[in-house]
Every structure is written in structure tokens, then in C-alpha cells.
Chain A
Amino acid sequence: MRTGPRKREAMAYFTVVIEGTGETYRSPEQRTVLEGMAALGRKEIPVGCRGGGCGVCKIEVLAGSYRKRVMSRAHVSEDDEAAHRVLACRVWPTSDLRLKVLGKMGKKVGAGDTAPASDGC
């Protein structure tokens, strides 16, 4: 039995637009840009370690604002960070976002020593 007005769940969603493909998805503010995408079963941004260490989910935020946490300098330089080239697993949207995917998964099996590794961009 309710004893008072039901508290409304305050959850803000923001729209993320992926430049190039034009794909969009709605991401809640408490999830990273990468988690928001992956929770919907979407695959526009490559999913790696999800801790800011491996660099495969690198994106460039073209418009919009976000919160961020520490990311590996092996994959995000100070210049990158200033230019909004960040890791999707370490940024939380605080507005609608437009972004470009920079990261990619690396070599396939048996590609040998000479295949390019994931260099985080």
C-alpha cells in the first residue's frame, strides 16, 4: 500500500548520433557512451576492455558535452583529449552527442606478424 506520492525515477536519456552511418541510439546519463550502445545490442563502436586501457573504443565527439574519467595515455594523448578524441568507455553523455568512431578491432587470426595491431585509433 502506497503511503505517499510515488517517487518518479529520474533518468535522463540523451541521443547519440554516429557520424557517417547516421545510426542513433538513446543512452541514459548514468551509462557510458559505450555501455549505452552495448546494452542495446548495438555494435557501431568496437567494445574492448571497457576500462580505458586498450583503446579500441576510441571516438571523436563532434558535438555535445560529456563527463569523463582517466584514460590510458598510450591511446589518448593530451592533444587527443583536448580535441575530444576520447574512449567511449570512459565518457558519460551530459547532452545529446554527435560522434565519429575512430577505434577498430585489430588483426584477425593468422594474419601474422606484419598485420597492423590495434593502435587505439
Chain B
Amino acid sequence: MALTGVLRPGHVQMRVLDLEESIKFYGDVVGLVETGRDTQGRVYFKTWDERDHNSFIIRQAETAGLDFYAFKVDSKASLDKFDADLRAYGLKTERIAAGELLETGERVRFQIPTGHLIELYAEKTDVGNGLSYLNPEAWTAQAERGIAPIRMDHILLYGPDIEAAQKIFEEVLGFYLVEHVELEENKSDLAIWLSCSTKAHDLAFVRHPEPGKLHHVAFQLESWEKVLRAADIMAMNKVNIDIGPTRHGITRGTTIYAFDPSGNRIETFCGGYASYPDWQPIKWTMDEVGRGIFYHDRKLNDTFLTVVT
């Protein structure tokens, strides 16, 4: 098995201001599948094609934003090893008992220097995608309900000291740098895109003075046409679009940024090239950052560096 250690983004827990409104948004408009509710009042979703019980969890709170972001690892042995390695690196870790999150095994939680809570876990119940493991069909009716993304794909986090966060993900968790925007030559970056797989990004950071901020959670779609269909669905449902449909220069993904009813930004995107750990990272300079972020407009919009939850 070539893909070992940290496998992929697994779940994200978000705060929303009005739970019922958000359930309708994520269920009917985004087209996620609700898979459960717990005694804390949290509501669990997954995309139609994901097989594990949940990937996207919301809870009502007084503020919008991110509670935590989690990666699935390949085994309980890896979970224990990463826990020990993180501690040896000097980070505090916390063990959260299996079952605290529905259908999810024990989690290791730690805070990174950007202020965000990151979790690792090895087990989450396989509830399937509605297709058989034996001679399956190609898709289900759920694949056409709402925007209907394939998977919760990556996250962009805003906070200070992104270099220290990058070091933890590279040196302890086996991620590698795919692209970066250089802020000061050979000294610091404005933004970094990291992968633990062959995706162009599983996790990204932008330098920002306030810790613990969320820029967006991204959902992957199958095609550029599906991105355009998502824009139509957003228009029909009066969803506030930040920008798009357009393309990123960085990762080459086609994209829409839009806001959920609490002002949390989501991305519905397609593409991005396949990347490999032996590849040389791509560097963008500040004078071309506009084209890097929004390839067609070739400039940042007013909200890209400012509007976060």
C-alpha cells in the first residue's frame, strides 16, 4: 500500500448561527446526506459518495466558524504513533474517547500554531455510498440532489505563524508542499498548499493576524459543468456567492466561493492536478498573486484576505 499514515481529510465541525436554516442549506441546497444527530444537538452529514458515516458536522453557536478539522489515518497503530510523535515534537495532545463523535473511533486532538484544532482518528463506521460493493451501479439518485458534491475535500485556514504549522504537517505527519505564494523573498510565505496524498491540496494556510480563522471548506465536484450547475442552484436559492464560477491559477481548480447562511465560506470546485511528493513545489510571487488565486480576473477580490469566520 503506497498511501500510508495520514490518508485524507475526514471530518470538519462547523459553528452555525441558526441550526434549522443551516440543515436546510447543507441538506437541500448543497445536497449533503444527513446521517445523524447527537445529544449535544450536533447534526452530521456526508456527501452522497463518501462511505464513512460523516464528514461534515454542524452545531448551533453564538459565533460562526470552525471548531476542528480532522484527518483519517490508516490504523490505530498509526494513531498511537502520531500521538507520540506530536508529543515528542513538543505539542500537547488530547485523547477524545471513541463515540464522542457519532460512529467515530478515538481521536487525537492538538492545537497548531495558527490557533486551529486539528484531529486524527483511525476509525469511522463504513455506512456505504448507497452502491453495492459487489458489481455496483455508477451513481444513485442522491448524486443529483442539490449541488451534490463527491467529497469534503480540503480546508483553507487563516492564522499567524503558518511556517510553524507547515513544519508540523511536513515533519510529523508526512505532508508535502505543493504550491506557495512567497511574501518576502526566501523568507516568508503569504500562503501554502499542503498535500498528504496525490491531491493538489488537502490543507492550505494563509497568513493572517487573528488566530483560528476559517476561510473555506471545499467540496469536490466531478466537472466544470457541475460547477456551473452549482452556480445555477446557488442563484435559484439566493445563496450569497463570493466569487465565481472561475478558476484558480494555484492548483488549477475551477471554483465558486459562496457563503452558508451563517457567513461561513464554502467552495464548490472541480479539478486541481494530481500531485506527488517528489515534485518540486510551485512558487508564486506577490506581483502575480491575483492571477494565482483568481486566474481569469487576475486580481484578488475585496473579500479574499478579509472576510473570514
A residues with a Cβ closer than 8 A to B are 46-54, 56, 69-74, 89, 105-110, 112-119
Cβ A53 vs Cβ B209 within 8 A: no
Smallest CB–CB gap between A115 and chain B, Å? Answer: 7
Q: What residues on B are CB-neighbors of A110 within 8 Å?
A: 183, 190, 286
Docked complex Cα distance between A54 and B305 (Å): 12
- Which of A47, A54, A117 contacts B309, CB < 8 Å? A54
CB 8 Å contact bits of B179-212 with A (1 = contact, 0 = none):
0000100000010000000000000000111100
A48 lies within 8 A of B303 (CB)? yes
Within 8 A of A (CB), among B30-69: 62-65
Chain A residues positioned under 8 Å from B306 (CB to CB): 48, 54, 56, 105-107, 117-118
A-B contact pairs, 14 of them (CB 8 A): A46-B302, A49-B64, A51-B240, A51-B259, A51-B262, A52-B17, A52-B262, A72-B262, A72-B263, A73-B62, A105-B303, A107-B209, A109-B300, A110-B183
Number of A-B contacts (CB under 8 A): 101
Report chain B residues within 8 Å CB of A107: 209, 305-306
Q: Could you tell me the distance between the alpha carbons of A15 and B125 in the complex, rounded to whole angstroms?
A: 56
A106–B286 Cα distance when bound, in Å, is 18
**Does more than half of chain B's interface fall in helix, strand or loop, or is it mixed?**
loop
- Contact B63–A74 (Cβ < 8 Å): yes
Partner-A contacts on B (CB < 8 A): 17-18, 62-65, 160, 183, 190, 207-210, 240, 242, 259-265, 286, 289, 300, 302-303, 305-309
Minimum CB–CB distance from A45 to chain B (whole Å) comes to: 12
Asked if A49 and B305 sit within 8 Å, CB to CB, the answer is: no
Q: Which residues of B contact A115 (CB under 8 A)?
A: 209
Evaluate contact between B183 and A51: CB separation under 8 angstroms: no
In contact, A49 and B63 (Cβ under 8 angstroms): no
B262–A53 touching, CB < 8 Å: yes
